[in-house]
Structure formats: C-alpha cells, structure tokens
Amino acid sequence: MKTRAVIMAGGEGARLSVLTAKRTKPAVPFAGKYRIIDFALSNCVNSNIFDIMVLAQYRPQSLIEHIGSGGSWDLNRDFTGGVRILTPYKARFDADWYEGTADAVQQNFTFIKRGAPDLVLILSGDHIYTMDYEPMITFHLDQRADLTMGAIRVPLEEASRFGILDVDKKYRVRAFVEKPEKPPSNLVNMGVYLFNREALDRILWEDHQREDSAHDFGKDILPRLVKGKARVYAFPYTGYWMDVGTMHSYWQAHMDLLSPNPPLKLYDRRWVIHTRTEERPPVRIPDKACIFASMVADGCYIQQDARVESSVLSPGVIVRPGAVVRESIILTDCVIEEGAVVERAIVDKYVTVGQNAHIGGGIANPDIQLAIIGKNSQVLPGMVVEPGATIATDVIPSDYEGSVIKSGETISTKRKPYEI
C-alpha cells in the first residue's frame, strides 16, 4: 500500500496573536528548538512515510525556509517521494485562495493523486504529538474503512473546542458534531484523517459542487460522510496531544515539558523529532547564575546572578546579570537586560527587554493571563507590562506614551509597513 501524507499548513492562527503576525501557525517556534510543523513531519518519517505534500497559504516564507529541500527529515528525494510545498495559485478555472481545509486539498488534488497513492493521510500542521501512523493504517485496512480518524479523549471542559465523535464498540463513528457548545462526550477529532484515495476524490468533488458548503473537513465533509453511512472509523490514540491554537495552550504545552515526568517524550531516541538546526555555541552559565526546571537551547548566555526558573529559552537568548525569567517562553536571540523580570510571558524573536523592566507576573495565580511581546520589539527600561497586556511586533521607544502597559491593552507600532 502506498501512502501519501498531506500536511495542512496554511492557517493564519489568529488566536496566537502576535506570534502569527509574521508567520503561519505551523512555523511558530516550539520548545526552544523546533517549529510546530516538525512534529507532523517527524511523525511521518518515523512511520516510514516519505512522500509528503505541505499545503501552505498564509505568510509561508519562514515555513518554506525552514523545510527547504527536506534534508533534515531525510525528505530531499526527487523520484521516490520527498517533500513538496504547494501554495495557492491563479488559473483560468477553479483556483484561488483556499476557502477551507477541504477546498485546499481539492484545489491540489491533481498533484495529490499523481502516482496513484492508495491512501491519503491528511494531517494538521499545528498539533504537538508523537504518533506512529502505521497501526492506524493497519486498522484502516482491517476495517475496510473509507475514512479513519484519529481520536483522543480530552477533559470535558475543553471538548467544545473540537469536533466530537460518538462511536460503537468497534469504533465505527455513529455521529459527529463540530465544536458544540455543550459537548455530549469528550472523544474528540485529532485532525488526523486517513482516506482511501478514490473515496477522497469522490467526496471532495461532491463537496466542491455544493454551493452551501464551507468546504471544510470538520464542518462539512465529516458530518456528511457519517450521516451518509459511509464506513467511517475512529482510531483511538492515548498519547500526548495538544492543539496549540491559543496562547494559553501554547504556553501550557511548554510547561508540560518542564514537569518532573514530561508527557511528551522529546528525549526518546527511538522517536526523534527532526528539525532544521543552525550552528550555535554551547550554553554558557557562570558560577553564580541559577537555572531551575528549565530548557535552555544552544547559544544562550545566562550571566552572573541571573535566574531562569521553569522557562524555555530558544537559541541565542541572553539573560543579563540580576535578571529573572520565570514560567516564560523566550524565543530566539532575545536579550533580557540587567535587573529585568519576566514572569508568565511569551516573548517572540529579537526582543530586547530593557533594564529593570517588569513583564507579566502572578506566578502564584494559575488563572493569571499571559503577557505577550511581539517580534522585533523593544521594551523600555523600567517599563511595566501587566499580565494580559500585549506589545505587538516592531514596536520601538517612540511608540510608547507611558511607562505602564495595562492588562488588556495592546501597543502597536505607529510606523507604516514600508518604514519597518
């Protein structure tokens, strides 16, 4: 059986706020080393699937640069698979910006069915998990399914964010409802779909012709298949899985990595998460610096009397003397200047936090909101950025009108796009 994977990587990810202002959601950095899409790519190659197409749309530049020719995942292959990145294109008929996830696959189906794969594995490029797809493929074939969906149980209070499944004893799907306000169960759709190619071709074409459709898998394709008595099955998954579609879930996934027994096994050599790496010098930690329960990437410099607690630092982060970073995610090449305090915050790339500035707070309160600092921004010395406040991308000193950014407030640059 020949399987081709299709990774959906075109989402804007608006709920990730400033983190997706300049990049698509699957390209957002994760765990100090990776991009979110690395998990879907690595799951494929670790499952012996080396034929992958990535469907991009919103701000794909950093995603394209990250994947490159696919060499980091052993996907730089010309004739036996490899990775190809497909973007929307204009044509005389039926080609334009993607209207939904199903429309994205439909517009590219000429390329997807080339070479006649038997199975098409459709994946979301914005989930954090490690999954072997081979047992799912075996299950799909044993059940003679038209579609097999990955399914996982989540806390019932979170289930309204997802599609909800009802299954019989053999895991055949009896009902499906997309993001109900009052979920009838906690068995949810993971966004992992295994289709027979011929069935997918027929289903997408029927949906394409429906004027009342949003052309989305969750909203249209799945409910229609289940109601039409197609052979739709759920494959139960019991490992760690996180949809990092919100700031809090993105932050929580990092905090999960720092727990005494992390549920996501990044250090399992039998299931390596591959990524594009760059050469950086080793981490430098002087005698009197303190690092506790944290992940610190190559090239970081934690200086004398600085403290890093329960945080994730990406490559090249500098924490100056006396600065404190707690329960925060600091992305590449940020500088936390002397005496600054960063607590429960997400700080994007190339940010400078000025001396004695205070960002976020409330580490003793589990309900406290995160403080967010966008890419390329500068936080003035002595400034206070309250929990729940946001500094957008490219903010410079002249953009500020005061020394305190209140909770719920967003500071944006006053410059025109061509001036940045």
To the nearest 10°, report the CA torsion of 280, 286, 290, 292: 40
9-47 pLDDT, tens digit per residue, is 988 888 899 999 999 999 999 999 999 999 999 999 999
**Predicted local distance difference test score (pLDDT) of residue 96:** 62
The whole-angstrom separation of Cα 379 and Cα 371 is 12
DSSP E strands in 340-405: the ranges are: 341-343, 345-347, 352-353, 358-360, 371-373, 378-379, 384-385, 390-391, 404-405
Asked if residue 332 and residue 222 are part of one domain, the reply reads no
Identify whether 276 is part of a domain: no
Element (H, E) at 317: none
Among 90, 102, 74, 78, smallest CA distance to 8 is for 102
Tokens of 108: 């590219």
228-244 pLDDT, tens digit per residue, is 999 999 999 999 999 99
290-292 and 232-236 beta bridge pairing: unpaired
**Predicted local distance difference test score (pLDDT) of residue 95:** 54
Range of the domain at 250: 3-257
Based on C-alpha coordinates, what's the Rg of the chain? 22
pLDDT (average), residues 290-316: 97
pLDDT at 417 over 80: no
Asked if residue 229 and residue 155 are part of one domain, the reply reads yes
The whole-angstrom separation of Cα 210 and Cα 99 is 13
pLDDT (average), residues 139-168: 95
Identify whether 264 is part of a domain: no
Asked if residue 190 and residue 117 are part of one domain, the reply reads yes
Residue at a domain's end among 240, 257, 274: 257
Confidence of residue 203 (pLDDT cuts 50, 70, 90): very high
Tokens of 241: 């899985």
Asked if residue 297 and residue 208 are part of one domain, the reply reads no
Asked if residue 379 and residue 244 are part of one domain, the reply reads no
Asked if residue 339 and residue 230 are part of one domain, the reply reads no
CATH of the domain at 399: 2.160.10.10
CATH of the domain at 47: 3.90.550.10
pTM of the predicted structure, to 2 decimals: 0.93
Asked if residue 93 and residue 46 are part of one domain, the reply reads yes
Asked if residue 216 and residue 139 are part of one domain, the reply reads yes
